[in-house]
Every structure is written in C-alpha cells, then in structure tokens.
C-alpha cells in the first residue's frame, strides 16, 4: 500500500519548522509520517533524509514545503529529484509550487516539460541566493577589516616570567619544549614569541 511521507528541515540555527509542519498537516499528513531534520541543507549527509530515502517505495508520495528543503546546491537538488522520482518511483509534491506535483499521471508532454523547467529554475535560484549570501558576508567582513575591526580571538598575553624563560632558553639552559611547559603554552607558541622577541 502506497504511503504518504513529509520531510521538514530547518537549520540548527533556525530551530523552527512550524510553518512546514502546519502546511503538511493541512495537506493531510500525520505526525508519525513527518520526518523532521534539524541540519543545514548545504549537503546531503543528513541522517533523517538518508533514513527517508530507505523508506520510500514505488507509488509512495513525498511532500515538502518548498524546494530548498531538499538542499541548496543546484546540481544536487536535481540529482535527488531524479533519484526520488525515477529510481525510487516515488511522487513528489512541493506545497509552495503546485506545478511541482508529480502525482498527476494525466500530465501531457508540455506539462512535464514546464514542471522540469520550473524545477531547474528554482534550484538554480536557490543556489544563487546561497552564493549571494556568502558574497555579502565576505564583503561585509572585508569592509569591517578595512575599518579596523579585528576578528578571531585576541592574541594571547605573554606570562610575566616570559622574559626570564626566554633568557634561559637563549643561554641554552632549557629546551624550547621545556620553555613552553614552564609557561603553560605549546612549544610552537613559544617559538613564535621567541622569534618575535628577537626581531
């Protein structure tokens, strides 16, 4: 017997899939048939999604709220769509876009072409939006650096006994590793500080 599944995803930062869940309940899905994943869509290494793929059988229907719930990479979304509809022989319903409903067996060649075209356009747009966000972030960071904003952890302060330990090392009384241990830092950090001190 064919089954109906829903797949909802939100990133761990969003922590909110309410809109997706409400839409799926409105479609007729029960809680037991909705699989919720709290993970980024940047790739398909998602345990809940992988479990869902194993469940899908020919004749089943997968419901998602929007195409970007499958992911944000243009090529990968298209590949997953192919796997689900062709290999798994499962129908897909995208609630936000009625054209993307593969349950319609009466669809003619033109209708199928339009649906495929819409899918490709939307997948491409999802990827472009993601790349644009990354570009804006990079530009924002560059602008902040140009204004003198510092990123990352503040530099570690040298302990009070640094100069004494440095002198002992310079006079070959202790090794670099011993100097690091005395100061409670790695020998590489000591090496860096010692090099800076000697300049």
Does 32 participate in catalysis according to the annotation?
no
Helices (H), ranges, 3-148? 18-27, 47-55, 74-82, 109-146
> CA 47, CA 183: separation in Å to the nearest integer?
44
> CA 39, CA 10: separation in Å to the nearest integer?
6
Cα–Cα distances (Å) from 194 to 160, 161, 169, 174, 180, in that order, read 14, 13, 9, 13, 11
Token pair, residue 11, equals: 């990133």
Cα–Cα distances (Å) from 21 to 17, 39, 66, in that order, read 6, 16, 12
Token pair, residue 181, equals: 């241990």
Of 11, 167, 175, 192, which one is the catalytic site residue?
Answer: 11
First to last CA, the chain: 77
For CA atoms 143, 146, 148, 153, the dihedral sign is: positive
Report strand pairing: 34-38 vs 91-94: unpaired
Residues involved in catalysis:
11
């Amino acid at each position: 017997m064919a089954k109906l599944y829903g797949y909802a995803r939100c990133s761990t930062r969003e922590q909110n899939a309410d809109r997706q869940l409400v839409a799926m309940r409105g479609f007729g899905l029960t809680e037991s048939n909705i699989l919720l994943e709290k993970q980024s869509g940047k790739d398909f290494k998602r345990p809940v999604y992988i479990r869902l793929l194993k469940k899908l059988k020919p004749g089943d229907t997968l419901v998602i709220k929007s195409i970007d719930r499958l992911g944000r990479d243009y090529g990968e979304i298209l590949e997953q769509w192919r796997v689900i509809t062709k290999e798994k022989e499962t129908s897909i319903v995208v609630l936000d876009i009625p054209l993307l409903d593969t349950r319609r067996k009466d669809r003619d060649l033109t209708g199928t072409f339009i649906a495929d075209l819409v899918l490709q356009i939307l997948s491409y747009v999802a990827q472009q939006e993601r790349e644009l966000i990354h570009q804006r972030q990079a530009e924002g960071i560059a602008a902040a650096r140009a204004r003198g904003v510092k990123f990352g952890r503040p530099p570690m302060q040298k302990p009070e006994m640094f100069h004494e330990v440095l002198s002992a090392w310079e006079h070959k009384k202790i090794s670099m590793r011993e100097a690091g241990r005395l100061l409670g830092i790695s020998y590489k950090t000591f090496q860096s500080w010692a090099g800076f001190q000697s300049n």
